[in-house]
Structure formats: C-alpha cells, structure tokens
Structure 1
Amino acid sequence: MTDPRRRDVLGLAAKGALAGIAGAGIGRSGGGAALAAAASRTHFRALVIGSGFGGSVAALRLGRAGVDTLVVERGREWPVLPARPLFGSPTRITDTMFWFRRTTRWPGMLPVPVTPAPGVMELSEERDLDIACAAAVGGGSVVYTGVTIAPPRRFFERLYPSGLPYDEFTGKWFPTVRAMLRAAPMPRDVYDSAPFTHSRLWDRQLAHARMTTRPADSTFDWHVVRQELARTLPPSATIGESDFGCGTGAKRDLTRTYLPAALATGHVRLRALHEVRSVGRRRDGGYSVVVRRLGEDGATLGTTEFTCDMLFLAAGALNTNRLLVAAREEGRLPDLPDTVGTGFGDNGDQVNLRSQPLEPIGPAQGSPCASTAFLPTGFGLPIRVENWVLPGFASLPATATFAMTVDTDHRGSFRYDPSSRRVVLADWTREKSAAAARAVLAFSARVVEANPGTLPVTVNTLHPFTGHPVGGCVIGRSTDLEGRVKGCAGLYVVDGSLLPGNVGGANPSLTIAAIAERALAGIVAAGG
C-alpha cells in the first residue's frame, strides 16, 4: 500500500505548489515537541551536501534504503507562486538573481548594481574563467535549460574509465534518470507557436548548412508551457526566462521529482539556507560539517556543527573542490588524495549569436531548447550545438547557440591560497578556452555561409564563461567507480566533480545523475 505521506508530498510536487518542501522533511508527527526535536538534531547516519542532481539522487536512494539522512543546501527554496514573479532575468534584474554579488555579471548582460543576497546563481570570477553554479533547493535543475541528453558512445568511452560500460548506462542508468525527470522533446504544437519562431529558424539555418538537428529531450513541463501560450499563466518560459529560474513552474526541476520522493521515504530531512563552511574527520572516524545558517535576506543567523558516519559531497564541481581542497590543506582531511582538485574542465562551453535582419522572430523568444546537433568532425573539435536564448538579445533579429566541445586536453587545478585561506582555480588561461572558441566560430561561419543575409554577432561578454563546471575529483582517479574517495572510508563524491573535465559532447545533468544512480546502487548494496 502506498504511504499516504508519500502521496501527499508527491501530490504537492505534481501541483507545482512546493512551498514547504524543506519543512515536509523536518518532522512527521507528534506536534510541536517532535518538530522541535527533529529541527535540533545534529547527528545523522548520512549527510548530503547539496540538493542538485547528484545530491537528490543520493537522498532518494539512501532514503529508500532506510538510511537516516540529512541534506543541507546553501540556497533558498523557491516555491511556485504564479501570482507574482519569483525570479529575475537579464531583462528584469532583481537582488535575488545572484549569490552575494554587488554587481551583475552574465553573458550579454550589462553590469548593474544589486544588493548582496542569497540569490539563485553564484558567478565566481576565477582566473580567466567565469564559473556559474546554482544556489537553490534543487541545485542546477532550477537554473539549467532542461536539456537531458547523453554523450555519444565514442566520446564517453574515450573519456571515462573502462569500468563504466556505456551499454550499462544506455540500458539502465540513463533510462532510470529520464523516467524520474520525465524528460520529453518539445511537442509539435509548442514548436509551431510564435515564441519558438527562433527555434524553427535555427533548425532551418542548420539544415541549409547540411547539419542534421534532432529534438532535444527536455525537463520543461509542456503542460505549463501550453498554459503560458494560452495566457492562463503569466509568461515565463515563453519569454526566455530560464537562466535564473521560471516563476510559473514551467521547468520541472528536482523539487518536483527526486526531492519530494526522497522526503516521502520518511528517512530524509532537508535544510535550506545552510551553507557549509568546512568539512573534516572526527576522532571517532565520522565526519564533521560546519554550516552557516542564513536568513532569506542573507543575514547570518548562527553556525551549527553536524556530524555523520557517511558524508556525500554533492555541492557541484566548484564548491565540492573548494571544501575538499581546503580540508586537505588545513589538515582536517589530511589523507585526501593529491589528485583531488585536479582534472577540472569547462566542458568546452561557448555562446554564439547570428543575426538575420530579413527574418524577424518577434519581440520575445521561448527559452526551452527545441533542437540539438552533434558534429563530430569539421571544426577542429567535436561539437554539440543547441538552440538557445539570450534574453538580452530577444528583441533583436538574432538566433543564439549554446555549444559544448569535446576537449580532452585542457584542464585546470584548484589550489589553496594560504594568505587568503581560499581555494581558487589557479592555472586556467584563456588559451585553454581558445580551441573551443575556434570550433564554435568555424561552425557559425559555415552556417552564415549557407544562409545569405545572415551575419555573425559578437556577444557582449569580456570573459570566458562556463555554466557546466566539471571535474576536480575525477572518477577512477580520486575516487573508485562508485564515488568512494580513495583512502577516506565513509567519504563520497556524487556530483559533477566526478566527470573528467568534459562530459563528452553533452550537457552534464543526465550523466551526473546516471553516475550517481550507479554509485548509490553499489554503495547501498555494499552497505557503504
């Protein structure tokens, strides 16, 4: 018989009314005393840092295995409230867009002063590379474009250890994740609608250049997108809002799939606005996690030390590396492998624009990605291109492409700076992004040549940028094939840090979740 508590939480998710998802995992019965006791607990069998793709998978699988688990997330919970916009966008700037920044910084966006706050996106200015990563309950699923695709076999097999068979992923782990996320391509009626004129034009331009595009599986909720098109919901996804969240719930993020299912097990707690400041090993062999508790306005409410027997790092490649490298260099995890912090890459991310003044696309563009093409040869590096939207250019006759190259050569390292006590990306250079940039320019030049009247456009961004930071705790090097950190019993990595600096011709979300699913299956089966 289905647990009624599970039905209630999943029903909440299905309606898109997620107010209180974190609270749903704090206490189950017994009134105020039980709630207070649950809220004051500081020791758990397992603790998961981060609620993105890897962290949500870990929470669900640990919960279903009956493991007493706490998930801590530095960002806010963003319930769906269609009556008013929750998120900002490049055309409607708010203080809650960025994680404690004083000035906006984003591709195609002019710098504008904002009040520092616990916003939905961290933009870290590393050496010669801007790294974007989410700060929200649901992690990257709140701010990504929803594209859910697997890397091609030949490049997966080139990049990943042989102990991760591609057939196992295509036969089991990728389908498991797709089913949980309910990923599906854009329906024809949505594709044919006015906000997706740019998508049809993008496909036509590539077809003229003899490039084959295919529909991209997406986690956007097409029912909600249709409601926006029918004007029964205010516009969000249909006017290009994606990078900083969709206020109508048009994006089916992890707060509607993995996370409510994890909380419904009754074994998982979730605490938002808990920013992890340090991790370390305790004398009894367990782990210590010190967090800073935040208010929604960003004020520090205090600090708490949690302890656990099993610690799962799922804070994203940037913050997992920050925590682990600092712990090693400051002596709190002295046995961490020297390889931790190495093998980082930007997934070959690039942004490209083309203008077609004679083919208007209307005043607004829809953000869900309709199509993708993978081009293995002809541009110096294999390249994945996707139909994309830059809202700052929505009123111009321009189509945008987000591109990811298969770059197996250029990697960076995170290092500890003792003077500032910060972990930084120490050895990235513009040259490490140059091969990807050349590949995308060559792709664009071919499309422009095949489409008379089309012109290239320079995107107004002065800095190399990645929205897909991966690597640093590379699977098979720093960990075993199930994410166990070598030499540190009870310590696991289950996020994009595991990926070897490049996904292999795809967005990382599906691969991160699939590797996490495989890892948790092995960890649960082995009891650790």
Structure 2
Amino acid sequence: MRGSLGRRELLKGTAGSVALGLTTGARGSVSAAPEAERRRAVVIGSGFGGSITASRLARAGVPVLVLERGIRWPTGPNAETFPHMFSPDRRASWLTPRPVLTGSPPTVWRPYTGVLERVRGVGMDILCGSGVGGGSLVYHGMTIQPSAEHFTRSMPAGLDYERFDRDYYRRVESVLRPNGIPDDLLHAPEYRAVKQFHDHVAREGMAPYRVPLPIDWDFARRELRGEMKPSYTTGDVLYGVNNGGKRTVDVTYLAEAEATGRVEVATLHLVRDIARDSSGRWVVRADHITTDGTVRERKRIVTDALFLGAGSAGTTRLLVKAREKELIPDLPEAVGSNWGNNGDRIFSWTPLGDSPGALQGGPACMGVRDWDNPDGPVTVVHGPVPFPVDLGTTSVIGFGIVRPRGEFRYDPHRDDAVLHWSRSYDAELTDRIRERIRNIVGGSLADHLTNITLDTSAFDTTTFHPLGGATIGEVCDAHGRVLGQRGLYITDGALIPGSTGACNPSMTIAALAERNMDEIVAREVGKVF
C-alpha cells in the first residue's frame, strides 16, 4: 500500500524519512526510537497564525507546545541581531551555504539556521521567514485592510466582511498599532525616495497612501539624531530591523502567550511528518537540531489537538506528504491546490535625472490604492532599497487579485511536496500592474522617456506572500477544521485561496486566526481536547 512503510515508521517513532523541504540541510544520525511525549495541544510554527493560536489557547487555560524550527532573534537599540542587506553572512539563510536573495554579494559560509529560507519550486520560489515570529521578522510590515468588495472577491465564501471590519481587523490593530510615516520623516533627506514617489502619485491626480506599519517611528527619529546606528533610515530592513521598534509577533502575540506560563516555545524543532494514530490522536515527528542543522534528538509528540501554522508553504507540504504517504490517509484530495502568490510583482524604477539616492529610508511606507479601476484593483507601494552607493534606482511593489492555480505535488525522491506554477497564471495581472506603475511614475510621453521600469520578478520569480494549499471550503471548514479530521486545524495563510484583496496578506491572516479561534475555544476546548 502506498506510504504504509512511512506510516509504520512514524507511529513507532523510528527514523527513516528524508527531511521535509522546509527542513532541508539538517544532518546527523540518531537511530534510537524516541519515547512518545504527550501534550494537550501542539502548534507548529510561530508566525501570525501560530502565535495568535497559542495566545488564544493560553487565555482559555490550555497548555500549549509551540514547535519552531528557527531561533529567537532579540533586537534592541544598536543590536547586530540580523545580517545586513549588502554584507550578508550565515545568519541570512536557512541551512544553506550561500545567500538566498538574488543580487546578494556572492559568498559562501557554513550553513546556519538563518532568518530567511528560499523554498524552491517549479516556476516560482517562496521566500519564508524562519525563527520565533515567522514571517513578521522579515516583512516590511504593511498592515492593509482590503475593501468589502475585494475581500468578498478574493476570500473564501461565507466569511462575513462586516464582522471582520467591526471586530477581527480591529483586534489586530489594537495589538500591532500600525501607523503611517509622519510628516517630519517624510520630508527628511533620508526619505527622499519616499517623498519622490509620493509626489509622482500626487502629480498624476491620485491620492498618496501612507501605508500603516506596526513600528514606532521614534526609532527612526533617534537614528536621525545619531542616537542609534541607522537601520530604518537606510532601508536596511529586509532581514529584520536591528534597532527594535517593530511590533513583530514574537514581541506582541507570542510574548503575551508566554507570559501566561501556559505556553512553551521549543526552538530548533524541525517537524518532519505528521500522522494520525489508531486511537485518533495526532503524532508529530520532529528533530531537535543545532544551529548548523545537526540532529541532537528525534522526538515523537502525541497530542489531541494539532494546529498547523507553518505558513502556506510549510503547512501545505506537511499535509501533502501526510496524504501521499498515507500517514493521514483520508485527507481531502484538494490538499496542495488553490495556491497563489497574492499577485506580487516587483519592479525597479529608474527616474533619469532625478535619482532616489543611496541608502533609501524605509520600510515600505508610501503607496497608492488604485481600487476603483474597472480592470481590477491594484495596490502599488514604493519599496526603498539600501544600495550603499547611488545607482539612481529604487523599487516599486504591486499587489492584485490572482487566480489560485498553483499546486504542490509530492516528489517521492525528495520526500517533499514541490510547488508548480506558471507565469501565464498571472501574466494579465502583471501587465495591469506594469501599466499602473508607468502611469504613476510618468503619465506623459516625456515622463515615459525619462522613467525606466523593469519587472524584476520576470527573472527572479519569487513571492514573500504565499497563500493557499489547504483552503476553506476545499480542505477545511469555515473555521479552519480539516474536513473529516477531529482535532486537526489550519491557522495560517494556507486557508486563503491565493489573494487577499490586492493587499499585503498579514492583517487578513491575523484577523482570520482571531475569528477561527473564537469558534475553536468556544466549542472544542474541553470537548475535543
């Protein structure tokens, strides 16, 4: 029978499966079968979905084990926690010997459990945060709520936008406290590129949009006063913000959860496989590793409630593996499908004769919401780049609504699920985003001749915003319960089919987790687990 050997090995606790793609690079050999560790509730992943889940369970009195493959990244004024964009070191990459970002200076190092992983796919790669806090460590922080129309157009059926608008989005705001760039910083020389984009938007008769970000702008002011080394004000934020002041989920939701005393965060724990045993309990096989990927200990954890919050890429790959190896033999066939890249496209913009300058202040804080266009909504945001010398260019990011046509397919040779995507899936949207950007940076023929735009995604096809793979209505019910699987829940972007209404998805993922946990806590705590 397909996968029966893998199922026996997992349930007995023996070693034997090749590493899951998100754990590629772990080394070591530990042959002893581990004793089962019993837990009431287990959460895999500590990003938005996982941290909110842990917080809500802890408030309900439930002891929780959070399994996180990465390390903690504590920041503070003048810290050197994170590597720098143009002088990366081994902290930049998850267990690979070189940088994962195209354009990084070529170098080689010893593998480390670094902050960013590149999940290789066919036609599309996914860039994922790795560490306590997940993707919130490496995102710019764009906290954007979609309109009712675009929410309804892109999100699963049956979700009440009015309730999201009144309650769930407001909860997220109360924790992250997002706010736009203040006037004094917008007019500071270090934010020349931001102001330049702002002025182009206004000149074309559109409304500049100060993107809400969960940061304390006083940290940027202190950098300008020379009280801290620059980080925000040079745009050096892609691997994380060294000075602090960014309300990532490790210092908000997860810190609150840990303060209850009911949440244990187990770092450097790589989840290899998940399964259901004969009694209906959930079995997690994880490796406790060192920071170079060596396996210290193999673990087998048994729980009544398993919450998958490893992000769209991590959660989906675990589920596809479990289905194909018959570790969970009756999973829905739609597992692995309905995946999209949130319509992401990244363009470089070179305004000839009017350079944006070097070391452009950030994070991405100025945009335009072109949501009334009859061809479809697009959000365009300026993305400052921390070039150490003036190359005369900057970047512009576009989001739109894309059809979720990507899928993960199991590769038995790699013992992993691999994303398959075609550029034809979002070609029309790419053309629309390109045209909107050209209109913004220069509406006249003369402006077009003095502004050069280049679609960087065409030769480096990646996304920071993977969505789908275990979607509501196909794999889960409306509150993230996996269909036909008592005590198995999805709590991250895997629930969402491809787009979040032409917006960065973090706010919607967090709001959806809040909504789903209302239901789970009310109806299943004390009954299912």
Which TM bucket (shorter chain)? 0.7 to 0.9
The corresponding residue for 2:91 is 96
AA aligned to 1:458 is L
Q: What pairs with 1:168-317 in structure 2 (closer than 5 Å)?
A: 168-317=163-312
Indicate which of 404, 408, 412 corresponds to 1:414. 408
**Residues 1:435 and 1:50: Cα distance change in structure 2 (over 3 Å):** same
Per mean C-alpha deviation after superposition, the further-off stretch among 42-51 and 158-167 is: 158-167
Per mean C-alpha deviation after superposition, the further-off stretch among 224-233 and 266-275 is: 224-233
CA distance in 1 between counterparts of 2:388 and 2:119 reads 23
The corresponding residue for 2:381 is 386
1:508 aligns with 2:505: yes
CA distance in 1 between counterparts of 2:463 and 2:358 reads 27
Is the Cα–Cα contact under 8 Å of residues 350 and 436 in structure 1 kept in the other structure? no
AA aligned to 1:54 is G
Q: SS of the counterpart of 2:120?
A: strand
Indicate which of 433, 437, 442 corresponds to 1:440. 433
- Shift in Å, 1:365: 1.0
AA aligned to 1:221 is D
Per mean C-alpha deviation after superposition, the further-off stretch among 63-72 and 95-104 is: 95-104
1:458 aligns with 2:454: yes
Deviations 1:230-256 (A, max 9, x none): 221111121112221111113221121
CA distance in 1 between counterparts of 2:413 and 2:515 reads 40
Is the Cα–Cα contact under 8 Å of residues 358 and 387 in structure 2 kept in the other structure? no
Per mean C-alpha deviation after superposition, the further-off stretch among 446-455 and 436-445 is: 446-455
- Shift in Å, 1:50: 0.4
CA distance in 2 between counterparts of 1:44 and 1:196 reads 50
Q: SS of the counterpart of 1:519?
A: helix
1:75 aligns with 2:75: no
The corresponding residue for 1:145 is 140
The corresponding residue for 1:480 is 477
Deviations 1:202-226 (A, max 9, x none): 0111122222222111112212222
- Shift in Å, 1:439: 1.8
The corresponding residue for 1:30 is none
Deviations 1:109-156 (A, max 9, x none): 355434321110111121111211111100111000111011121111
- Shift in Å, 1:358: 2.6
Structure 1, unaligned runs of 5 or more: 1-39
Q: What pairs with 1:340-419 in structure 2 (closer than 5 Å)?
A: 340-376=335-371, 380-392=375-387, 395-407=390-402, 409-419=403-413
- Shift in Å, 1:107: 4.7
**Residues 1:410 and 1:256: Cα distance change in structure 2 (over 3 Å):** closer
CA distance in 1 between counterparts of 2:389 and 2:508 reads 31
Q: SS of the counterpart of 1:328?
A: helix
CA distance in 2 between counterparts of 1:425 and 1:394 reads 37
AA aligned to 1:441 is R
The corresponding residue for 2:21 is none
Structure 2, unaligned runs of 5 or more: 1-34
The corresponding residue for 2:27 is none
**Residues 1:295 and 1:308: Cα distance change in structure 2 (over 3 Å):** same
- Shift in Å, 1:514: 0.3
Deviations 1:300-339 (A, max 9, x none): 2221111111000000000101101101111111121111
AA aligned to 1:434 is A
AA aligned to 1:430 is R
- Shift in Å, 1:283: 2.2
**Residues 1:255 and 1:79: Cα distance change in structure 2 (over 3 Å):** same
**Residues 1:378 and 1:83: Cα distance change in structure 2 (over 3 Å):** closer
The corresponding residue for 2:19 is none
AA aligned to 1:472 is G
- Shift in Å, 1:41: 9.3
The number of equivalent residue pairs is 487
Q: What pairs with 1:114-129 in structure 2 (closer than 5 Å)?
A: 114-129=109-124
- Shift in Å, 1:519: 0.3
AA aligned to 1:423 is A
TM, length-normalised to structure 1: 0.88
